[in-house]
Structure 1
Amino acid sequence: MTAARRSAAPGHGARRRAPATALTVLLALLGLAVLGGCASIPTSGPVVDGKAEPAPPLPIYLNPNPPRDDASPEQIVNGFLSAQGPGTTSSYDVARAYLTGSATDWDPTARVTVYRGDAGLVVPDDADDTGKTTVTGTVSVVGTIDADGVYTEVSDGTTQDLSFGLVQDPDGRWRIDDAEDGLFIQSGLLDVFYQQTTLYFPTPDRTYFVSDERWFPKSARWQTDAVSAVLDGPAEWLQDSVVTVAPPGTTLALQTVPVSDGVATVNLSSAVLSASAADRALLQAQIQAVIVDSYPRTQAFEPVRSVVLSADGTPISVDTVDPLPSAQVSGGAVAASDGRLVAVNGSTLTKIDGAPSLEGLLPTALGLTGDVAQGAAGAAVLVRDGTAHVRRLPTAGTKGATLLEGADLMAPSADRFGWIWSGSATGPITVLDRDGTRTRLAAVPWLADRTLVSVRVAPDGARLVVASDGTGGPLVQVAGIVRDEEGRPTALSDPFRVAASTVDVTSVVWTDQTQVGVLGRQTGEDDVVVHLAQVGGQTTSLSRVPGAVAIAAGNGESTLLVVDEKGVLYGRSESATIWVPEATDVDLVAYPG
């Protein structure tokens, strides 16, 4: 059921009243909840030992008000919007009390629109005369969450028109009889009502878990939603880059995942019995990793420590295996400084024994395979020489080689299988082995007629982040990498957009399993800064490094490095809250990958 959308602005024939936003109402409710939740401090009883761990935050209980008999059309709409967030923890009974007629078929699970600011509701002047009216408004959209829990960020300036049809009943009470399916949640309250949840899916070689971010309501069904999503499989863009170990047709038998004494019982349909013993063990480890890592840290949710599987109520014998690890960057940072390669150790630049020479080259970007900083066996240094050559530098027992020639080549990125990713700005993306032999990558239609800026392969080898420019402006997109049985890249999936408000981009890197770092500008920014964009989440901006020209990252935000136009290398402080100058005379910096 979809209400007609239209733009509305105050003017002739309409009146705009003082905004009483959903946020205002909810903040008032929050105050009442906190006051009502106070508890006394015990003054007697035994002394017991306890773990030195911080207590989880207290749950926030919100009790939205049902509609008043004398409420105006605007108050009815505001009340309906205010009741939607708290409804995620129950059955939306209060929100539904604002509805009548065909609007009672309203489906809150269709999608979530995350917005900021005031809806600017407008009510026609003749609302009280006809017994019918339409309340309209416009919200500034931050992102959306689809029915599968996938969060998609939208660019600044995106708006959505609202329209609610209302009627008066025989007693003169206003109710909504036409409402759009889905929820509207203020961005500041998203974390109150929704739990960001990391699903995990194995790489095809079953070496690593790959993260897939989702958002589910913080309701008693949270673990049920999370497990159901695991069984349904990864997000569409990731489907051909990971594997699903649950056999086709595997579902929850009872649509609930009870937790008792820290043990979650996952009762599956009999289809799971067709899985091999190894797949059952991996499925159990997969589900356990999801609900142990992401369960809501509130007193309303019992911590989950382990998972047991059953099929139609009968326990399944499953070998216990540890969850697969998440892939990590395989070494430390290396910088080009004063014409030589050095290891970056905090504020110290250390000579690398046996490091290849940069003499006779014009290095403009570095790429590393393996732990070059520690002189690991098989490690190699890749250099973009000027803008037209990518070269592999000689190492002990290995000659140097020119791997790629072309115009405006991108900085090289090496994946865990040894494949090197680069290409000319005009495309296409080029993938080569360590000897410069190209492999054929299927056409990537979403990059047609776009200028390539930067590419970076995730440490798991299953995902690629691509920055490009073209019609519509810069885009930062993440795609799944499809490989054959030997690990050879064969195609890229359709992309998933991140950092949607980017208006200028210099380079992109992976900062951890769920986040990419973007050096560039977003709407309203005058200077280039580092943005941290969650893949399936929101983007945040770090403080400015004046004149920043290059970025590198290892495992986590604390490993971020930035080089400015004067050759100063900046790292994150111990608390990872500010930039700290670490070294000077640095031209380039890179981590393996």
Structure 2
Amino acid sequence: MGADREGGARRRPGRAVAYAACGAVLLTGCASMPDSGDLRGVESTPRQDTQVRVFAMPPREDASSSEIVSGFLEALTSDDPDYETASKYLTEEASRRWQPKLSTTVLANGPGAEAEHVGGREESDSLTYTLTGTRVATVDAQQSYAPASGDYSESMHLVRDKRSRQWRIDVPPRGVVMGESDFQRNYMSVDKYYFASNITLGTSPHTAAVADPVYVRRNVDPMTQMVRSLLKGPTRWLNPVVRSSFPTGTALDKTVDSLTPDDRNILTVPLNDKAARVGPAKCDEMAAQLLFTLQNLTPTVDEIVLEAGGRQLCALDEFQAKAVAVRGSVERAGYLYFLDDEHRLVRLAAAANDAEPDPVPGALGEGERELRSVAVSRDEDMAAGIGLDGKNLYVGALVSGGPLGEPELTSGGKTAEERLSAPSWDAQGDLWVADRDPRDPRLLLLKEGVGDPLVVKTPPGLEGRIESVKVAADGVRIALVVKKGDKSSLLIGRIERSEDQKAGERSAVSVHELRSATPEWEEVTAMSWAGDSRLVVVGREKGGVQTMRYVQVDGSTPEGSAPAALSGVKEITASEDARLPLVGYSEDGIVRLPSGTQWQKVVTDGTAPVYPG
């Protein structure tokens, strides 16, 4: 049936040439594209070794319309830097108009393609194919990832040239479309760095570096891609709360095609004349942004040299960058804190294997107040604790003999679960907590942990009650577990602060543009920041069982394995510094997961483990 019909499009992974480290080879197992046949889904290419570069084949002479469609879709998944091969499947006019870098649509599987014969005529010189699939995510022109759902359907029109009689696409799909496995092979997530624009840290240096994750093509000169992306500025979501030190209009010098560090791991970055007049301090900030960004991509960059206007502007190494800005992922905590069997605050050296905790100095460790949850400031000078019944918030200094006064905050909720959440300290030394009272649910901030709480404005469309709060080390992002009915999800918001015009008035603080980091999860029971743009989450996917996984702030799944399984997890904590072990509270007590090992018991009687923050 339909042996002479050009209706279905079928894709095979063999329509590509791969260049491996040992040389250029033709992929084995190649199969030719059928000229005709029944409708087939356009299958995703099997996951290839990331060291293999894949280049598409141009259209052959007298290719059928189905071959043109399949070859074009295959070319979209190749490592062709500017999609030049994919453009050969288009008419000259369509090739000029097409903008493949405008967006990438990721589908659960490769796109299906079905021909629609106009007026029932199969010999027409004009054909429309409908591409279909199930959306998983989109990557926009700024390379920013966003989860997506629902059906994908888009038309693609082909014409046959009257003279050459060759089929070509004159209306391609918008941007690029591919299956999830092809996306994982082609793209990788990398953090680029900017500086918090409204945050003054309580410790030196005073500038916070903020990670802005983007997806770049892993085999298409990712180093140069990341530099160009950094120079273009932050993504729209992060832009209101960060700044770049690069002058507006700064770009790579027009003579630069590719950037490569030398044999001493020094990367020289020639810039255009927009950067030629920057001063030494500004230049150091520019170099720090580049160094933080590229070290997140590769370990082969130890120093940045910036040039513009025919001269060297500055040079900056890793040690010098630490004097420019601070990243949460390189600030090591001194201690791990938790509550002992008497509900007092105790601590262990974070980087040691000691199993005998000591009470913290001060009333929260030495006094009589029983606690259910705690938080320790990032400088480890202050601690906050929620009373055992969840009603009161106490704040005290971690100094021996330090007093504990009256509660800084009291909730009117009827039960412990309807009262105060575990608190969280931000980078400025301010304390955040959620009051879960159903009659008056609020997100609150206490300046330096004391005084009258400030009600933090949340988006009007926020549905559900905030159950837990964790502020990122950069001070401009906040993670919230929000519960609505039987479902709870992890949302990431942007913190904005604005000073009131009236003298003596406090600044207004608000959370904006909440977005889900766990779109497929039905329940989130515990979470913690575990990197500059990564969190560790405990919960359940739809219809699943309890699991523990790392997630990115943009809702994507980071590369690498999930933490080792741990049963009965009630609480989890991680440091942004990946050198420190993951720590949990489970049915076995307080346990930790050093890198490359299995879970190890710390103490049997203990709850509420936290690193500073």
- Report the TM-score, using the length of structure 2 for normalisation: 0.77
> Bigger CA drift: 232-241 or 106-115?
232-241
Instruction: Quote the offset at 1:514 in angstroms.
Output: 1.7
In the TM superposition, 1:375-414 aligns within 5 A as 378-392=381-395, 396-406=401-411, 407=413, 408=418, 409-414=420-425
From 277, 280, 305, the counterpart of 1:277: 280
Deviations 1:63-92 (A, max 9, x none): 312223454433322211111132x54332
Counterpart of 2:99 in structure 1 is 107
From 494, 503, 506, the counterpart of 2:525: 506
The structure-2 alpha-carbon separation of the partners of 1:319 and 1:521, relative to structure 1 and needing over 3 Å to count, comes to closer
- Separation in 2 of the partners of 1:277 and 1:17? 62
Give the letter for the 2:409 counterpart: L
Instruction: Quote the offset at 1:442 in angstroms.
Output: 5.6
Instruction: Quote the offset at 1:383 in angstroms.
Output: 2.4
- Separation in 1 of the partners of 2:129 and 2:245? 49
Instruction: Quote the offset at 1:413 in angstroms.
Output: 0.5
In the TM superposition, 1:199-238 aligns within 5 A as 199-204=192-197, 205=200, 206-218=206-218, 222-238=222-238
Q: Which has the higher contact order (CA 8 A, sep 6+)?
A: 1
For the pair 1:533 / 2:551, whether they are aligned, the reply is yes
For the pair 1:351 / 2:358, whether they are aligned, the reply is yes
Instruction: Quote the offset at 1:111 in angstroms.
Output: 0.8
Deviations 1:516-572 (A, max 9, x none): 1222222342x22222111246226545433322111123286222223x3533322
SS in 2 for 1:63: strand
For the pair 1:520 / 2:539, whether they are aligned, the reply is yes
- Separation in 2 of the partners of 1:130 and 1:464? 57
CA contact (8 A) 1:15 1:124 kept: no
Counterpart of 1:135 in structure 2 is 129
SS in 2 for 1:94: helix
Give the letter for the 1:272 counterpart: A
- The percentage of aligned residue pairs carrying the same residue is 23
Counterpart of 1:144 in structure 2 is 138
From 431, 434, 438, the counterpart of 1:423: 434
Give the letter for the 1:97 counterpart: K
> Bigger CA drift: 319-328 or 395-404?
319-328
SS in 2 for 1:330: coil
For the pair 1:94 / 2:116, whether they are aligned, the reply is no
From 151, 154, 160, the counterpart of 1:162: 154
The structure-2 alpha-carbon separation of the partners of 1:535 and 1:415, relative to structure 1 and needing over 3 Å to count, comes to same
For the pair 1:254 / 2:238, whether they are aligned, the reply is no
Deviations 1:385-434 (A, max 9, x none): 32332223575223243122223222110123221101223533100135
Give the letter for the 2:428 counterpart: F
Counterpart of 2:321 in structure 1 is 322
CA contact (8 A) 1:202 1:243 kept: yes
Counterpart of 2:166 in structure 1 is 173
CA contact (8 A) 2:75 2:83 kept: yes
Counterpart of 1:78 in structure 2 is 70
The structure-2 alpha-carbon separation of the partners of 1:362 and 1:255, relative to structure 1 and needing over 3 Å to count, comes to farther
The structure-2 alpha-carbon separation of the partners of 1:438 and 1:159, relative to structure 1 and needing over 3 Å to count, comes to farther
Counterpart of 2:373 in structure 1 is 365
The structure-2 alpha-carbon separation of the partners of 1:465 and 1:489, relative to structure 1 and needing over 3 Å to count, comes to farther
The structure-2 alpha-carbon separation of the partners of 1:568 and 1:37, relative to structure 1 and needing over 3 Å to count, comes to farther
- Separation in 2 of the partners of 1:85 and 1:530? 31
CA contact (8 A) 1:421 1:455 kept: yes
* Cα RMSD for the two superposed structures: 3.6
CA contact (8 A) 1:510 1:517 kept: yes
Counterpart of 1:10 in structure 2 is none
From 555, 562, 565, the counterpart of 2:584: 562
Q: Which runs of 5+ in 1 are unaligned?
A: 1-13, 39-56, 298-302
Counterpart of 1:7 in structure 2 is none
Deviations 1:18-73 (A, max 9, x none): 8535xx347x755x8578548xxxxxxxxxxxxxxxxxx98423231222345443
Counterpart of 2:338 in structure 1 is 335
Counterpart of 2:495 in structure 1 is 481
CA contact (8 A) 1:71 1:173 kept: yes
Instruction: Quote the offset at 1:190 in angstroms.
Output: 3.3
Give the letter for the 1:152 counterpart: A
> Bigger CA drift: 514-523 or 218-227?
218-227
Instruction: Quote the offset at 1:456 in angstroms.
Output: 0.4
- Report the TM-score, using the length of structure 1 for normalisation: 0.80
- Separation in 2 of the partners of 1:591 and 1:529? 22
SS in 1 for 2:101: coil
Counterpart of 2:574 in structure 1 is 553
SS in 1 for 2:68: helix
Give the letter for the 1:129 counterpart: E
Counterpart of 2:37 in structure 1 is none
Counterpart of 2:609 in structure 1 is 589
- Separation in 2 of the partners of 1:15 and 1:561? 59
In the TM superposition, 1:113-128 aligns within 5 A as 113-124=105-116, 126=120, 128=122
CA contact (8 A) 1:66 1:94 kept: yes
Counterpart of 2:459 in structure 1 is 445
Counterpart of 1:309 in structure 2 is 306
The structure-2 alpha-carbon separation of the partners of 1:219 and 1:313, relative to structure 1 and needing over 3 Å to count, comes to farther
Give aligned pairs, total: 542
- Separation in 1 of the partners of 2:313 and 2:266? 15
Instruction: Quote the offset at 1:446 in angstroms.
Output: 4.8
- Separation in 2 of the partners of 1:454 and 1:127? 61
Give the letter for the 1:342 counterpart: V
- Separation in 2 of the partners of 1:492 and 1:275? 34
Give the letter for the 2:151 counterpart: T
Counterpart of 1:8 in structure 2 is none
- Separation in 2 of the partners of 1:325 and 1:190? 32
CA contact (8 A) 1:507 1:518 kept: yes
Deviations 1:487-526 (A, max 9, x none): 977333433432222221223210111201222222342x
Instruction: Quote the offset at 1:318 in angstroms.
Output: 6.2
Instruction: Quote the offset at 1:172 in angstroms.
Output: 4.4
For the pair 1:66 / 2:58, whether they are aligned, the reply is yes
- Separation in 2 of the partners of 1:274 and 1:542? 48
CA contact (8 A) 1:331 1:370 kept: no
Q: Which runs of 5+ in 2 are unaligned?
A: 26-48, 201-205
CA contact (8 A) 1:73 1:135 kept: no
Give the letter for the 1:73 counterpart: S
SS in 1 for 2:287: helix
The structure-2 alpha-carbon separation of the partners of 1:251 and 1:119, relative to structure 1 and needing over 3 Å to count, comes to closer
